[in-house]
């Protein structure tokens, strides 16, 4: 009988395509907007993600997200080191600096200062030059996207010189970095150097990066650090979540996307539901005839649901596929961020499922109440 | 109007259909339409009964009740030994599935299915595997002279051919009751005659019963008995021409 339902459905090509179109529209919009949203959210944590190695971030108790810098006194490093369970701890500077280029123009930079001794937090993927060269005087490394932005169209060239806070900076390497929310060029240097590049301030230490001793849970070490120092200590994952939660709660971003997603959901449901209902009405005599010939209401219900699920499946596949293609295209062509984790696929799937269920409700009502005796009427 | 034979089939025969005092009202309150006003009717096994009468006199309502697609307002209906009035809805669905074949004036074929697939629908409803069902349906269509149109869609068939597919569908599961509502009224004389001949040849058999609603006087000759309805009542039951020929 499900086979008959399927035949009925695709036998009516125009209506079939109409229903599928509604579902595709919704799935595409929901998946695409959610992916852009996830892309944006992942941008907000890209700077945490790019610091590989330490599992614990220590910061001022009032810091709410990764770009919310509230400098600590340099002595806090030693207090953190003194907490039992801390294997090691290093300084990390994060701030912005204005660079004066050789051409005379100014550029805002994201300045990251790495521990002088260990260079912990250095980028992983080197395009040109070497991380070790950061130990040379005045040495800085820049991310490739930033380089292309400052010197568009020019080949990578080490030894380029610019100034920050009237101090000379010499480029010794180009690396890859995840794009950040602000999209400033990212400049890496030693901590001691970064402090000199940055505008003079009383306190300069942005974060203490630390790791737990083997056998001690990082969460536990974080608790101890907080108890002992009064600072805020978060694991990487906790800092991720805190940062994302901040953007979710304190910016209009989620609302904007939620509105678009909701719109896609409603419009998709309306198109699919209306076409599906018309399809059912058009076939109501067929359903009546099947009922007269002894098809139970349960089977009829199953047939309509099967029809709904069938268009849901097709619409989901096509919609998500189109969204993925869109993602591939924009990834290459623009600065729009696009990130489609499995959660997006799952959410879109659930939404499509709800859409086809809602869309079939009216139809189900219609077929269940149809009187099999209608088949005798002309 | 003269009643030349008893309204009831011979009492000795085991009755296929026994209808007593059936009324049917549609609507409620001031807008009640009395479609049936007290109908008694018996049909014996092996019999083809024709139900005739002017449009709106209640023929379709009566056969819908007998076929179990409509519940009477009052009265008794026993079909093939089943008390339809006492039956639950689910039991009626099973009853129709197992025991009733339908031929409608409007054919009511599924446009997306081929002739063979359409004829196989009652078997599919009964849970047969598709291949077996279509195979058996093809045999029946072959017997109806449509062996070369098995794979055609209804839109590719003439009206007469579509009605033959509908007959194949009505008989494929070998029901003991065949109900036909105006099966020939959309057909020309030749196709109407062919249709009735096929129904007579395939459906009128011992242990089975056939009711044909018609106001096509050209096909009266196929009836064992003819029941004339008027305004919700059976006014007369007469012997049809077949009675003499078939039973002597
Ligand atoms: N579903 C219905 N609702 C209201 N009135 C109906 C309905 N079905 C039939 N009737 C009325 O019942 C009467 C008998 O109809 P019907 O059995 O179709 O007659 P026939 O088949 O002899 O033309 C008609 O007056 C018709 O209008
Ligand atoms: Mg009628």
CB B71 within 8 A of CB B118: no
Asked if pLDDT for residue A332 goes beyond 70, the answer is no
CB burial string B119-135: b at 16+ within 10 A, e below:
bbbbbbbeebeeeebbe
Q: How many residues does chain B have?
A: 248
Name the pLDDT band for B75 (thresholds 50, 70, 90): very high
Which residue has 């025991």 as its token pair?
B99
The 3-state secondary structure of A103-141 reads CCCEEEEEEEEECCCCCCCCCCCEEEECHHHHHCCCEEE
Closest alpha carbon to A195 in A94, A313, A123, A274: A94
pLDDT band at A334, cuts 50/70/90? low
Residues A99, A100, A103, A104: what is their CA dihedral angle, to the nearest 10 degrees? 140
Residue closest to A301 by CA, chosen among A234, A236, A357, A224:
A357
Measure the CA–CA gap between B141 and B109, rounded to whole angstroms.
14
Quickly state the pLDDT bin for A373 (edges 50, 70, 90).
confident
Which residues, by Cβ under 5 Å, contact ligand 2, an ion?
B 60
Q: How far apart are the first and last CA of chain A?
A: 25
Task: Give the model's pLDDT for residue A57.
Answer: 94
Which domain, by its residues, includes B199? 46-58+88-242
Chain centroid offset of residue B53 CA: 16
Burial of residue B52 (number of CB atoms within 10 Å: 0-12, 13-18, 19+): buried
Q: How far is CA A246 from CA A7, A47, B190, in A?
A: 51, 15, 82
Provide the 8-state DSSP code for A54.
-
> How many A-B residue pairs are in contact by the CB < 8 A criterion?
82
Q: In this structure, which residue's CA is closest to atom 4 in ligand 1? A: B26
The CA distance from A354 to A362, in Å, is: 14
Distance, in angstroms, between A299 CA and closest chain B CA?
Answer: 9
Angle at B125 between CA B124 and CA B128, to 5 degrees: 40
Answer whether residue B93 is part of any domain.
yes
Q: Which of A113, A188, A105, A190 is nearest to A149 (CA)?
A: A105
Residue B153 alpha carbon to ligand 2 centre in Å? 27
Give the model's confidence band at A40: pLDDT under 50 very low, under 70 low, under 90 confident, else very high: confident
User: Are the CB atoms for A146 and A176 separated by under 8 Å?
Assistant: no
The tokens describing A277, both together, are: 């209902």
Residues in Cβ contact with A266 at an 8 Å cutoff, skipping those fewer than 6 apart: none
B177-181 and B100-103 as β-strands: parallel, antiparallel, unpaired?
A: parallel
Contact between A375 and B94 using a beta-carbon 8 Å cutoff:
no
Q: Can you read off the two tokens belonging to residue A245?
A: 């939660």
pLDDT at position B29: 78
Q: What is the DSSP secondary-structure string of A190-234? A: EHHHHHHHSPP-S--B-EEEEEEPTTS-HHHHHHHHHHHHSSEEE
Question: Cβ distance B50 to B210 under 8 Å?
Answer: no
Cα B172 to ligand 2 centroid, rounded to whole Å: 24
* Mean pLDDT calculated for residue range B236-247: 69
The confidence score (pLDDT) of residue B10 equals: 46
Tokens of B51: 């139900």
B42, B206 contact by CB (below 8 A): no
Which pLDDT does position A53 carry in this prediction?
Answer: 83
Counting ligand 1 atoms within 8 A of each CB, the residue from B33, B104, B180 with the most, and so the one to mutate, is: B33
- For ligand 1, atom 25, which residue shows the shortest CA distance? B56
Percent of chain B with pLDDT over 90: 65
What CATH number should be reported for the domain holding residue B53?
3.40.50.300
Residue (of A225, A218, A234) closest to A81 by Cα position: A225
Residues with Cβ within 8 Å of residue A325, at least 6 apart in sequence: none
Name residues whose C-beta falls within 8 Å of residue B82's C-beta, 6 or more positions apart in sequence. Answer: B95, B99
* Residue B232 belongs to some domain of the structure: yes
How far, in Å, is the centroid of ligand 1 from the Cα of B63? Answer: 12
Determine the Cα–Cα distance for residues A225 and A81; give it in Å rounded to an integer: 9
* Count of domains forming chain B: 1
Residue A6 in contact with residue A294, Cβ under 8 Å? no
Range name among A175-189, A308-322, B75-89 with the lowest pLDDT average: A175-189
Token duo for residue A144: 């490739």
* E strand or H helix that includes residue A100: strand A86-101
Domain residue limits, chain A: 2-43+252-376, 73-230
> Tokens at residue A88, please?
């090691």
The residue among A359, A351, A357, A361 whose CA lies nearest residue A262 is A351
Q: Does residue B6 fall inside a structural domain?
A: no
CA distance A214 to A210: 13
CA-B232 nearest atom, ligand 1: 14
Global model pTM greater than 0.90: no
Let me know if residue B206 belongs to a domain.
yes
Has residue B234 got a pLDDT over 80? Answer: yes
Q: Are A92 and A71 in contact (CB under 8 A)?
A: no
Nearest CA among B247, B231, B248, B243 for reference residue B54: B231
pLDDT digits (tens, 9 = 90+) for B186-224: 888 888 888 888 888 888 888 899 999 998 888 888 899
Q: How confident is the model at residue B246 (pLDDT cuts 50, 70, 90)?
A: very low
How many Å apart are CA B188 and CA B53, to the nearest integer? 20
Question: For atom 5 of ligand 1, which residue has the closest CA?
Answer: B26
Antiparallel, parallel or unpaired: β B33-44 and B15-26: antiparallel
Q: Which residues of chain A lie closer than 8 angstroms to B105, CB-CB?
A: 376, 378
Model confidence at A225, pLDDT cuts 50, 70, 90, reads very high
Among the listed ranges A263-267, B55-59, B100-104, which one has the minimum average pLDDT value?
A263-267
The single residue listed with the structure tokens 């409803």 is B125
Global ipTM: 0.88
Query: In the predicted model, is pLDDT for residue B4 greater than 60?
Result: no
Residue B123: C-alpha distances to residues B68, B91, B115, B139, B142 (Å) = 19, 18, 14, 13, 17
Q: Please write the tens of the pLDDT for every residue from A227-258.
A: 999 999 999 999 999 998 898 888 888 888 88
Which strands sit side by side in the sheet containing B225-230, from one edge to the other?
B100-103, B177-181, B209-213, B47-52, B225-230, B233-239
List strand residue ranges (DSSP E) for B104-189, in order.
Answer: 177-181
What are the helix (H) ranges across chain A? 2-11, 13-44, 46-49, 76-81, 144-150, 191-197, 218-229, 236-250, 253-282, 284-292, 297-333, 342-369
pLDDT of residue B1 exceeding 80, the answer is no
> Which structure tokens are listed for A118?
């260990």
CA distance B6 to chain A (A): 29
Residues A339-365: what's their mean pLDDT? Answer: 89
DSSP B14: P
The mean predicted confidence, pLDDT, of chain A is 89
Chain A residues close to B133, C-beta within 8 Å = none
Gyration radius from chain A CA atoms:
29
Distance, CA of B123 to CA of A282 (rounded, Å): 24
Residues B220, B213: Cα–Cα separation, whole Å: 10
Measure B46 CA to nearest chain A CA, in Å.
22
Average predicted confidence (pLDDT) for chain B:
88
Contacts of B126 in chain A (CB under 8 A): 294
Mean pLDDT confidence for B58-85: 94
The answer to whether B93 contacts A295, with C-beta atoms less than 8 Å apart, is yes
| Secondary structure (3-state) at A235 | strand
Q: To the nearest whole percent, how much of chain B has pLDDT over 70? A: 92
What is the number of the ligand 1 atom nearest to the C-alpha of B58?
Answer: 17
């Amino acid at each position: 009988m499900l086979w008959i339902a399927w035949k009925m459905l695709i036998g009516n090509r125009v209506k079939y395509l109409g229903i599928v179109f509604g579902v595709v529209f919704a799935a595409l919009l929901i998946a695409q907007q959610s992916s852009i949203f996830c892309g944006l959210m992942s941008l907000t944590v890209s700077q945490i993600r790019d610091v590989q190695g330490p599992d614990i971030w220590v910061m001022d108790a009032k810091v709410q997200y990764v770009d919310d810098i509230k400098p600590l006194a340099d002595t806090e490093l030693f207090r953190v080191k003194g907490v039992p369970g801390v294997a090691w701890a290093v300084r990390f500077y994060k701030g912005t600096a204005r660079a004066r280029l050789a051409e005379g123009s100014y550029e805002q930079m994201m300045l990251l200062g790495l521990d002088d001794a260990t260079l912990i937090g250095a980028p992983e993927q080197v395009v040109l030059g070497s991380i070790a060269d950061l130990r040379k005087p005045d040495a800085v490394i820049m991310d490739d996207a930033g380089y292309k932005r400052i010197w568009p169209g020019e080949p990578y060239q080490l030894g380029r010189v610019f100034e920050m806070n009237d101090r000379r900076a010499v480029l010794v390497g180009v690396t890859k970095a995840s794009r950040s929310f602000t999209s400033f060029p990212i400049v890496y240097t030693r901590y001691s150097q970064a402090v000199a590049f940055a505008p003079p301030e009383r306190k300069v230490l942005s974060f203490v990066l630390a790791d737990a001793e083997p056998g001690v849970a990082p969460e536990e070490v974080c608790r101890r650090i907080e108890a002992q120092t009064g600072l805020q200590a978060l694991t990487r994952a906790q800092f991720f979540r805190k940062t994302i939660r901040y953007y979710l709660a304190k910016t209009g971003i989620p609302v904007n996307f939620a509105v678009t997603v909701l719109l896609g959901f409603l419009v998709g449901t309306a198109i699919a539901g209306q076409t599906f209902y018309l399809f059912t009405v058009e076939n109501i005599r067929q359903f009546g005839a099947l009922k007269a010939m002894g098809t139970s209401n349960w089977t009829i219900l199953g047939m309509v649901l099967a029809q709904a699920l069938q268009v849901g499946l097709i619409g989901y596949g096509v919609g998500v596929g189109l969204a993925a293609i869109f993602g591939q295209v924009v990834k290459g062509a623009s600065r729009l961020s696009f990130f489609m984790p499995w959660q997006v696929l799952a959410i879109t799937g659930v939404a499509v499922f709800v859409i086809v269920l809602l869309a079939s409700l009216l139809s189900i009502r219609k077929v269940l109440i149809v009187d099999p005796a209608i088949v005798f009427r002309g | 109007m003269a009643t030349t034979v008893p309204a009831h089939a011979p009492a000795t025969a085991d009755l296929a259909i026994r209808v007593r005092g059936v009324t049917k009202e549609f609507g409620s309150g001031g807008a009640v339409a009395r479609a049936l006003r007290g109908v008694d009717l018996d049909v014996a096994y092996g019999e083809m009964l024709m139900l005739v009468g002017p449009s709106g006199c209640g023929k379709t309502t009566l056969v819908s009740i007998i076929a179990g697609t409509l519940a009477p307002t009052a009265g008794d209906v026993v079909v093939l030994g089943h008390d339809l009035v006492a039956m639950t809805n689910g039991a009626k669905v099973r009853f129709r599935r197992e025991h009733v074949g339908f031929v409608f004036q409007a054919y009511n074929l599924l446009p997306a299915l081929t002739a063979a697939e359409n004829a196989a629908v009652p078997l599919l409803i009964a849970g047969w595997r598709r291949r077996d069902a279509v195979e058996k349906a093809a045999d029946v269509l072959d017997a109806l002279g449509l062996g070369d149109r098995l794979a055609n869609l209804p839109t590719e068939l003439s009206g007469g051919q579509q009605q033959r597919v509908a007959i194949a569908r009505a008989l494929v599961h070998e029901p003991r009751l065949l109900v036909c509502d105006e099966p020939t009224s959309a057909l020309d004389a030749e196709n109407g005659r062919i249709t009735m001949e096929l129904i007579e040849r395939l459906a009128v058999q011992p242990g089975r019963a056939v009711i044909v609603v018609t106001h096509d006087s050209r096909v009266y000759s196929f009836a064992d008995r003819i029941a004339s309805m008027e305004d919700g009542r059976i006014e007369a039951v007469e012997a049809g021409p077949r009675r003499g020929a078939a039973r002597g």
